[in-house]
Chain A
């Protein structure tokens, strides 16, 4: 047998037993031949046997040796056979792919989009949700928040008072380290070149609670809380490199923060940034990433303003910590008079705190992206089936010549592998680029955004996705490809064979599936778009355009505040604020400027317990006193924000520290306290009922529209606004300004800086944002998820169009003769077009019907992401159905027009 013949009629692989018996047969043959030869030469049989046997020598040793050699031969043969098979299949596949460039390009692009989107989303999810947090034993870290059950406040997580913090720290048995911290703005440097830093004041156990160590130098100890040791600072890696050139001799150097001298004792590791604004509740107003940490002694007076982070002792569970906290609350209630029943602490594992908000969003997007991948694979499968159908004659001939079904399936697999490999490479590139873009543009808003990187996890995820894609795309084509009906195909000369039999059925099934999944994605995108537009176009209560906001931080050493609740000694701060405001109002082009704190959607929150004159309003079941949002404002704040008055009037320059106290309330407050009665002229005061000494009554002078304060999705809450001159609370350390002007922000800003500098050159203008920007960023999560889902929807729609176009176009081609006959029998072109459109609508209808159930499930899954839109919003559902139907109809019009042009004679002559 020649080697060529052997290769085609490949011998089966030999087992060990077969090899052994082959060898014995070889020996036996040799022995017999030699024996007969000797006998033929006249040697007696007995002697001949002995002689022949002697010639063999040591057979036992030879058997051992040859067995080992044979096994090696067999292993090498198998390996070579497999490699031959693979390379042959791949070579064939490459040749076919090159011959059909349009098909190849479409498939690779489709798969690139599918795999790329999947890889991107999987690395996003793996980094944000799955990767351990970058702190020591992060599972043991918890956040401890104050909370007001059903208090109706904007944020569930509330700050804790310094005295409470101390009591928690001293009495806990569950935590090995408890630290309080609060955001603080620092002006770094001297009066000529101030830079505003995002700072955090932290108590001694802060770094220990997080389980991190310093890059250089050391971190704070409990001792750093006491005066004399507390003028020390830890720098972030970024600040260290930016301002100090990464020099290690920065340790021990003095820096000026808010006009006071601090000694640098440590630098944090690169990437360490706690707390990050995007990962903490919005009401704490932490900056995106902190630049500097300084020690804080737990405050014994002043407002509640601490966030708390704590580390569980080894082996203590979350539930045990909860129990222990309830015990500690008992201790606190015993030591603070009148606190009983008012103290509630919320314990949140750090991971939930950081990713809780985005978990649902990311999981929804992951589900969406998986559907995109499914569509991409289905589309590729559909195109492959079409290709196989074109080649069915060749396949039938080869099958007739003995090519096995497995062989043909192997070739299809090879083709799919090549396509998917192309898509995989493209997808990984898309994923890497996408991730980089996300990190550049979304890192500040997305929790753990700065940790995003295309790492081993991402690569593995992309690989897994690619393998799944290969499987998804190859199953149906392999099945159809290896089942080409032999006889009919050959008999019909490779044409006709019904309407394509098996393969056209497979393609239709695939298209129906594709349309079903498209409906899910298009509807989901539609729901999210509607929800986003409801958020952006809902009544804001202020005007988003032509407004600019910024912050000024007043260093307490130069602008001291008294901390007693009832006095209003802001003697140092008030003249500066008034001067800055007057200078800004004098800028040409500025139509209104005002102080307001907190400004809407700026992330800040103030709230106060208050008492109305007369009866208490209806309260939530477990609330004991009425609570309202609390804002301080200068005259003109409502004009600068564009908030309309419903009744009464604004504050005026006459509302001073020593004039009768006044207050403005929002509509929600007015309706809550005095339903169906005029609010103007009514009186309220801050503090709980029966507070001694009683704060003065404030008279309502105006009622304004409800403003969105924290989120575009919130329902209006009661709010009171008091003149900044009459504010009884010390909240002047950071003040917010709002300026309304027709000028562009960039043109206005230098003038504002100059105006502020004219009042005090050492105070930098910070946190400059347009109101437009504030609105946009409060919708940033919604926008993020909506953009992605819309992208998925568009991809799904385009692929569905391509798929429908392919199937209908092909069927028109197959039915040319039939259409020709119909024309010859008198059918006009309209009839033919109707015939084809009906075919298209049947496909679409089947797909949409199949997708409806899935879509309802998807809407249900998205319900928590939707604002003011039902997850089963009929308008969106109908819209999506109409959109897909219109798209598929449009896709089938081209082949329909081609069919209408078929000449009766031409078709018959073919």
Chain B
């Protein structure tokens, strides 16, 4: 874990929202998606992930219901709401502005 990047505030939220763009996922699915997309560079602690999921549910960005997993086990599936899609769009553009700005300061690696 020492080799991976520490997460900035709010990053987990935007990553979670992004993970759900393609359809409903359970918490494990979200964590898998993040690991796969970053080749293990970004490791999100499950505690933080689940906190984000429930927080986003409270905010109305995502909704949850129980469904059946591929292995036919009961699992809690999350999906984006209209509000969540809007939130994702704003977060994404903010994130891009932020990383561009930081990159300009630091210059090419």
- Using a CB–CB cutoff of 8 Å, the interface residues on chain A facing chain B are 1, 3, 6, 11, 22-23, 25-27, 29-30, 32-34, 55-59, 61-62, 65-66, 69-70, 72-73, 76
Scan B64-95; emit 1 where CB is below 8 A from any A CB, else 0. Answer: 01110100011110000000000000000000
Known: A1-B67, A34-B28. 7 other contacts (CB 8 A): A11-B65, A29-B73, A30-B46, A57-B48, A58-B47, A69-B51, A69-B55
A65: nearest residue on chain B (CB-CB)? B51
Contacts of B48 in A (CB 8 A): 57, 62
A3 vs B75: C-alpha distance when bound (angstroms)? 17
B26 contacts chain A at the CB level, 8 A cutoff: yes
Tell me how far the C-beta of B3 lies from the nearest C-beta in chain A, rounded to whole angstroms. 14
Given A73-B57, A73-B58, are A3 and B28 neighbors across the interface (CB < 8 Å)? no
Contacts of A34 in B (CB 8 A): 28, 31
Contacts of B47 in A (CB 8 A): 56-59, 61-62
Chain A facing B: main interface SS: helix
A30 B27 Cβ-Cβ under 8 A: yes
Contacts of A55 in B (CB 8 A): 31, 43, 45-46
B75 A57 Cβ-Cβ under 8 A: no
Contacts of A61 in B (CB 8 A): 47
A32: nearest residue on chain B (CB-CB)? B73
B54 A73 Cβ-Cβ under 8 A: yes
B65 A30 Cβ-Cβ under 8 A: no
B63 contacts chain A at the CB level, 8 A cutoff: yes
A62 B58 Cβ-Cβ under 8 A: no
B28 A25 Cβ-Cβ under 8 A: no
Contacts of A6 in B (CB 8 A): 65
A30 B28 Cβ-Cβ under 8 A: yes
Tell me how far the C-beta of A7 lies from the nearest C-beta in chain B, rounded to whole angstroms. 12
B63 A27 Cβ-Cβ under 8 A: no
Pick from B43, B54, B65: contact of A1, CB under 8 Å: B65
A56 vs B46: C-alpha distance when bound (angstroms)? 4
Pick from A26, A30, A72: contact of B58, CB under 8 Å: A72
B50 contacts chain A at the CB level, 8 A cutoff: yes
Contacts of A73 in B (CB 8 A): 54, 57-58
A67: nearest residue on chain B (CB-CB)? B54
Given A6-B65, A33-B28, are A56 and B55 neighbors across the interface (CB < 8 Å)? no
B58 A22 Cβ-Cβ under 8 A: no
15 A-B interface contacts by CB (under 8 A): A22-B66, A29-B27, A29-B76, A30-B28, A30-B46, A32-B73, A34-B31, A55-B31, A55-B45, A55-B46, A56-B46, A58-B47, A59-B47, A65-B54, A66-B51
Q: Lowest 4 CB-CB distances: which A-B pairs, in order? A: A57-B45, A62-B47, A57-B47, A56-B46
A29 B58 Cβ-Cβ under 8 A: no
Tell me how far the C-beta of B19 lies from the nearest C-beta in chain A, rounded to whole angstroms. 14
Pick from A1, A25, A32, A66: contact of B50, CB under 8 Å: A66
A57 vs B49: C-alpha distance when bound (angstroms)? 10
A654 vs B48: C-alpha distance when bound (angstroms)? 120
A76 B58 Cβ-Cβ under 8 A: yes
Contacts of B69 in A (CB 8 A): 29, 33
A76 vs B27: C-alpha distance when bound (angstroms)? 22
A176 vs B51: C-alpha distance when bound (angstroms)? 74
Pick from A3, A32, A58, A72: contact of B63, CB under 8 Å: A3
Contacts of B55 in A (CB 8 A): 69
Tell me how far the C-beta of B16 lies from the nearest C-beta in chain A, rounded to whole angstroms. 14
A57 B46 Cβ-Cβ under 8 A: yes
A34 vs B58: C-alpha distance when bound (angstroms)? 26
B67: nearest residue on chain A (CB-CB)? A1
Tell me how far the C-beta of B69 lies from the nearest C-beta in chain A, rounded to whole angstroms. 7
A60: nearest residue on chain B (CB-CB)? B47
A61 vs B46: C-alpha distance when bound (angstroms)? 12
A28: nearest residue on chain B (CB-CB)? B73
A592 vs B41: C-alpha distance when bound (angstroms)? 122
Residue of B26, B46, B69, B75 with most partner-chain A CB within 10 A:
B46
Contacts of B63 in A (CB 8 A): 3
A23 vs B73: C-alpha distance when bound (angstroms)? 15
A62 B65 Cβ-Cβ under 8 A: no
Tell me how far the C-beta of A11 lies from the nearest C-beta in chain B, rounded to whole angstroms. 8
Scan B14-29; emit 1 where CB is below 8 A from any A CB, else 0. Answer: 0000000000001110
A25 vs B58: C-alpha distance when bound (angstroms)? 19
Contacts of B65 in A (CB 8 A): 1, 6, 11
B45 A26 Cβ-Cβ under 8 A: no
Contacts of B75 in A (CB 8 A): 26, 29
A76: nearest residue on chain B (CB-CB)? B58
A27 B50 Cβ-Cβ under 8 A: yes
Contacts of B27 in A (CB 8 A): 26, 29-30
A23 vs B54: C-alpha distance when bound (angstroms)? 10
Contacts of A58 in B (CB 8 A): 45, 47
Contacts of A25 in B (CB 8 A): 74, 76
A11 vs B50: C-alpha distance when bound (angstroms)? 22
Contacts of B45 in A (CB 8 A): 55-58
A251 vs B74: C-alpha distance when bound (angstroms)? 90
Tell me how far the C-beta of B83 lies from the nearest C-beta in chain A, rounded to whole angstroms. 13
A62: nearest residue on chain B (CB-CB)? B47
A69: nearest residue on chain B (CB-CB)? B54
A25 vs B76: C-alpha distance when bound (angstroms)? 9
A70 B54 Cβ-Cβ under 8 A: yes
A32 vs B55: C-alpha distance when bound (angstroms)? 24
Scan B34-53; emit 1 where CB is below 8 A from any A CB, else 0. Answer: 00000000010111101100
Contacts of A32 in B (CB 8 A): 73
B76 A62 Cβ-Cβ under 8 A: no
Contacts of B54 in A (CB 8 A): 65-66, 69-70, 73
A29 B46 Cβ-Cβ under 8 A: no
B43: nearest residue on chain A (CB-CB)? A55
A22: nearest residue on chain B (CB-CB)? B76
A52: nearest residue on chain B (CB-CB)? B46
A32 vs B58: C-alpha distance when bound (angstroms)? 26
Contacts of B46 in A (CB 8 A): 27, 30, 55-57, 62
Tell me how far the C-beta of A55 lies from the nearest C-beta in chain B, rounded to whole angstroms. 5
Contacts of B76 in A (CB 8 A): 22, 25-26, 29
A27 vs B55: C-alpha distance when bound (angstroms)? 16
A25 vs B27: C-alpha distance when bound (angstroms)? 11
A58 vs B45: C-alpha distance when bound (angstroms)? 9
Given A1-B65, A6-B65, A55-B45, are A26 and B73 neighbors across the interface (CB < 8 Å)? no
A58: nearest residue on chain B (CB-CB)? B47
Tell me how far the C-beta of A759 lies from the nearest C-beta in chain B, rounded to whole angstroms. 92
Tell me how far the C-beta of A437 lies from the nearest C-beta in chain B, rounded to whole angstroms. 54
B79: nearest residue on chain A (CB-CB)? A3
Residue of A6, A27, A30, A62 with most partner-chain B CB within 10 A:
A30
A66 vs B51: C-alpha distance when bound (angstroms)? 6
Contacts of A69 in B (CB 8 A): 51, 54-55, 57-58
Tell me how far the C-beta of A111 lies from the nearest C-beta in chain B, rounded to whole angstroms. 41
Tell me how far the C-beta of A15 lies from the nearest C-beta in chain B, rounded to whole angstroms. 16
A361 vs B52: C-alpha distance when bound (angstroms)? 70
Tell me how far the C-beta of B82 lies from the nearest C-beta in chain A, rounded to whole angstroms. 11
A30 vs B69: C-alpha distance when bound (angstroms)? 11
A3 vs B74: C-alpha distance when bound (angstroms)? 18
A188 vs B69: C-alpha distance when bound (angstroms)? 100
Contacts of B67 in A (CB 8 A): 1
A638 vs B27: C-alpha distance when bound (angstroms)? 107
Residue of A22, A66, A76 with most partner-chain B CB within 10 A:
A66
